[in-house]
């Protein structure tokens, strides 16, 4: 897998949040089409804040966020929301679904909010549930479902609008290794086949190893410095393109862009 | 071009209404019980509140107001407690809607619709009960009762009082199920835990529980056939 092109799907430069830089300072990132990139950092490193800044849920105090060649950081809140509905898929650390709706209806919700008709949204939701291998649970209510199914449903909801970019906060957290491997494989293959850029935020090196490249987030700064070998499980996802051992040998895309 | 780009892009009103209607009625047993409890609590709170709001100012003596306040206390407490129990479902719905891409304002409205509907229905039932039964109740009351002059008002006053009651009880329930109330509740609990009395309670409670368990075991042992 090559480095992001000159015109990456997501290009972040010098992101600062808040103004004093106590959470994020000088965050640089670039994610290309079809690429899965892990943002790896310990708890409290600012991963969720970074995800919120990239999704437009928080306003960064400085820096630029370009998505698909558009200045996302300059958009007013309403335009950000519309842009997010069209081009972003979001997976939250604490994924919540509406228990009053079925799984398929929950997955179809982003499309319904974007104005897509009920039948078409449901068809699309069923397609994505099938791709994540949970089509049989489409009409299930969301109480007491296993975590594996909830994680898959969260990813299906993020992918349902054919996004350019998926921002996934700990999408494999709490899953047994085998399930996480399978889901990581599915995610990689979907990213490749749909050309979706996936940015995955995690504190687990094993999860980061399932992505094609890793960017470390430490004390609010990104760096492509090698992750200690002892903490990384360099397990290549089967069926996905061979990742380059958590990108430790690769230069940061930003450095490359410079 | 993605599916969404081909669509109109605006959050359709018809869909919002249909989704709100689906979210109003709880599907889980515990959520249904919470909602019904809130409705009955609101009805209980609405009884004295309607009378107080409808009563002419001249009829509101100290004894009457104190009596109404005492009568409102169980209902108001129960409404606040029941509404506070719905905080989790309300914030859960809000978060789920926001995560699915709903606009902030419409997500808030959809998430609060259950609290509003059940509280409003309860307060309406309570208020209507007062309006329907105030005349026979007034006849039953002794002449010197402070409540008697409060009930001697016309239809317009009752109608206005009913509307005001529903609004006040719904606002109270919204406040009690809000994050601000949750924060206040946590602070009050922390303050309670810091009191010397609560330390005594922490010692007494396990001893009391142990005594109760021993007593129950002894009774069971006595009942067991030899």
Tens digit of each residue's pLDDT (9 = 90 or more) over A133-143: 888 888 888 77
Q: Is residue A182 part of a domain?
A: yes
Q: Does the beta-carbon distance from B15 to A101 stay under 8 Å?
A: no
Q: Confidence band (pLDDT; 50, 70, 90) for A6?
A: low
Mean pLDDT to the nearest integer, B145-169: 89
Looking at residue A102, the DSSP 8-state letter turns out to be B
What's residue A5's pLDDT? 53
The span from the CA of B171 to the CA of B185, in Å, is: 18
Least CB-CB distance to B100: which of A86, A99, A113? A113
Q: What average pLDDT does chain B have?
A: 87
The span from the CA of A196 to the CA of A190, in Å, is: 7
pLDDT tens digits, A55-64: 988 899 989 9
Contacts of A87 in chain B (CB under 8 A): 2
List the one residue out of A88, A65, A62, A51 whose CA is nearest residue A12: A65
What's residue A230's pLDDT? 37
Contacts of A98 in chain B (CB under 8 A): 23, 93, 96-97, 100
Q: Is residue A3 part of a domain?
A: no
Residue ranges with strand state E in chain A: 10-17, 24-31, 36-40, 62-67, 70-71, 88-91, 165-169, 197-202, 213-218, 221-223
Residue A184, classified by CB atoms within 10 Å of its CB into exposed (0-12), middle (13-18) or buried (19+), is buried
Interface of B to A at Cβ within 8 Å reads 2-5, 7-12, 15, 19, 22-23, 25-28, 31, 92-93, 95-97, 99-103
Q: Confidence band (pLDDT; 50, 70, 90) for B149?
A: confident
Tokens describing residue A115? 């104005």
Residue A235 phi/psi, 5-degree rounding, is: -85, 120
CATH number at residue A136: 3.40.50.300
What's residue B10's pLDDT? 62
Mean pLDDT to the nearest integer, B100-115: 89
Least CA distance to B114: which residue of chain A?
Answer: A100
List the one residue out of A16, A33, A49, A28 whose CA is nearest residue A87: A33
Higher pLDDT, B2 or A243: B2
Q: Is residue A252 part of a domain?
A: yes
Least CA distance to A194: which residue of chain B?
Answer: B2
Pairing of strands A165-169, A197-202: parallel
* List of residues 6+ apart from B48 with CB closer than 8 A: B68, B69, B71, B72, B75
Q: Is residue A156 part of a domain?
A: yes
pLDDT tens digits, A78-113: 888 888 888 999 999 888 899 889 999 999 999 998
Q: Is residue A237 part of a domain?
A: yes
Q: Is residue A67 part of a domain?
A: yes
Q: pTM of the full predicted structure?
A: 0.75
The span from the CA of A14 to the CA of A25, in Å, is: 7
How many domains, in total, are found in chain A? 1
Residue A200 phi/psi, 5-degree rounding, is: -110, 125
Range of the domain at A126: 10-257
State ipTM: 0.76
Least CB-CB distance to A113: which of B2, B93, B102? B102
Mean pLDDT to the nearest integer, B182-203: 83
The span from the CA of A63 to the CA of A69, in Å, is: 15
- pLDDT over threshold 70, residue B83: yes
The span from the CA of A46 to the CA of B80, in Å, is: 37
Q: Is residue A186 part of a domain?
A: yes
Interhelix angle B87-99/B104-140, nearest 10 degrees: 150
The span from the CA of A35 to the CA of B180, in Å, is: 42
Say if CB B116 and CB B167 are below 8 A apart.
no
Q: Confidence band (pLDDT; 50, 70, 90) for A168?
A: very high
Q: Does the beta-carbon distance from A87 to B7 stay under 8 Å?
A: no
Q: Is residue A130 part of a domain?
A: yes
- Chain A from 67 to 86: CB within 8 A of any B CB: 81-82, 84-86
């Amino acid at each position: 897998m090559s480095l992001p092109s000159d015109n990456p799907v997501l290009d972040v430069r010098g992101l600062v949040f808040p103004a004093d830089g106590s959470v994020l300072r000088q965050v640089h990132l670039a994610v290309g089409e079809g690429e899965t990139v892990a943002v790896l950092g310990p708890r409290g490193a600012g991963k969720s804040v970074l995800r919120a800044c990239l999704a437009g849920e928080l306003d960064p105090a400085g820096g630029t966020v370009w998505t698909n060649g558009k200045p996302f950081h300059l958009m007013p809140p309403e335009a950000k929301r519309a842009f997010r509905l069209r081009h972003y898929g979001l997976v939250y650390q604490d994924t919540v679904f509406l228990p009053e709706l079925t799984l398929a209806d929950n997955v179809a919700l982003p499309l319904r909010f974007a104005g897509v008709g009920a039948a078409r949204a449901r068809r699309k939701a069923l397609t994505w549930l099938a791709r994540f291998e949970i089509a049989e649970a489409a009409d299930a209510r969301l109480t007491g479902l296993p975590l594996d199914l909830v994680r898959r449903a969260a990813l299906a909801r993020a992918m349902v609008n054919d996004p350019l970019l998926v921002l996934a906060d700990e999408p494999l957290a709490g899953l047994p290794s085998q399930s996480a491997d399978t889901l990581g494989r599915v995610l990689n293959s979907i990213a490749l086949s749909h050309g979706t850029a996936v940015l995955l935020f995690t504190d687990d090196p094993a999860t980061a190893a399932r992505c094609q490249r890793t960017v470390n987030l430490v004390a609010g700064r990104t760096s492509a410095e090698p992750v200690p070998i002892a903490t990384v499980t360099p397990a290549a996802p089967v069926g996905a393109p061979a990742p380059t051992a958590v990108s430790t040998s690769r230069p940061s895309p930003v450095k490359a862009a410079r | 071009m993605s599916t969404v780009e081909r669509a109109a892009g605006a959050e359709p009103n018809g869909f919002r209404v249909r989704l709100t209607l689906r979210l109003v009625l709880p599907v889980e047993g515990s959520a249904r019980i919470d909602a019904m409890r809130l409705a009955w609590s609101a009805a209980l709170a609405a009884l004295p509140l309607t009378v107080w709001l409808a009563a002419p100012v001249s009829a509101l003596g100290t004894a009457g107001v104190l009596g109404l306040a005492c009568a409102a206390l169980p209902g108001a407490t129960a409404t606040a407690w029941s509404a506070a129990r719905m905080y989790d479902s309300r914030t859960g719905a809000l978060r789920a809607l926001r995560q699915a891409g709903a606009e902030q304002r419409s997500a808030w409205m959809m998430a609060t619709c259950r609290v509003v509907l059940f509280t409003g229905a309860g307060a309406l039932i309570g208020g209507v009960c007062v309006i329907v039964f105030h005349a026979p109740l007034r006849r039953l009351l002794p002449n010197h009762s402070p409540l008697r002059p409060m009930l001697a008002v016309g239809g317009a006053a009752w109608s206005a009082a009913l509307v005001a009651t529903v609004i006040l009880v719904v606002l109270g329930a919204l406040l009690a199920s809000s994050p601000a109330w949750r924060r206040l509740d946590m602070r009050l609990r922390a303050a309670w835990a810091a009191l010397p009395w609560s330390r005594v309670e922490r010692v007494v409670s396990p001893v009391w529980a142990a005594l109760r368990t021993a007593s129950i075991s002894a009774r069971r042992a006595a009942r067991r056939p030899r």
